[in-house]
Every structure is written in structure tokens, then in C-alpha cells.
Amino acid sequence: MTASEHAREILQIAAKAADSKSGEDLVALDVSGPLPLTDVFLLVSGRVERNVIAIAGEIEDQLNDAGVKTLRREGKAEGRWILLDFGDLVVHVFHEEDRMYYALERLWKDCPVVPLELPVHAD
């Protein structure tokens, strides 16, 4: 099984939103094989709690503006690991320390990576 076209489309919106708020180390995983309830995980890191909250807020705003409803949101108050469930797409926005600790990439290492189309930034 592979991620739906809809999941890939909303993934790109979410990734661009995260990037616009300085989200780092964006990784998208096609989890449609092992998980029947969602197609893609997007993992994003923020440096501090305020950044994590801003990234999650921008992703949610952009997807809601595109007509994608947030089904569930967890962890926003703490700003350490925010989970946003949009059905076909589940976004995990981590504080960089928590991302290293929970290591979701390692847990889902057998799932294919979905390419992201992000703007190129000048250093």
C-alpha cells in the first residue's frame, strides 16, 4: 500500500508551513502499510518550546485554510511534542531534545520516506 494523493498534497502544505516557521529536520514517512488509519507521518523539530508551538500553529492554520479539518490535537500547552491529526496525515512537532529521545524515525525505519518539496533558503 502507498500513501494517497490527498495525503501527499496536504503533506506538502504542512511541510511548507513548518518550514516558514523555521521547522528543522523535516522527515515524512509513508506509514500506510503498517497503519490502516493514516497514510503519512510528518516529523518536525523546533529549537525551543515557543518555536514548537509556532510551527504547530502555522501547520494547523494552513491546513485548516486549505479545508483540512484538525481531528485531534495533543501537547500544545507544553510545547515539547505536539501531535496534530488530520486523518490521512499525522504531524509530530517535537522540541529537538524530545525528538532525539523518542526517536520515531528509528521506530518506523522500515517505512519509506516521502520526498518533500521545500523552498531553498540562502544561508
Q: Are 82 and 56 in contact (CB under 8 A)?
A: yes
User: Any idea what the Cα angle at residue 85 is, between residues 79 and 89, rounded to 5°?
Assistant: 115
**Tens digit of pLDDT for each residue in 40-53?**
999 999 999 999 99
Domains and CATH numbers, the chain: 5-107 (3.30.460.10)
Kindly report the average pLDDT of the chain as a whole number.
94
| Percent residues over pLDDT 90 in the chain | 85
**Tens digit of pLDDT for each residue in 55-93?**
999 999 999 999 999 999 999 888 999 999 999 999 999
| Percent residues over pLDDT 70 in the chain | 97
Is pLDDT at 14 greater than 90 in this prediction?
A: yes
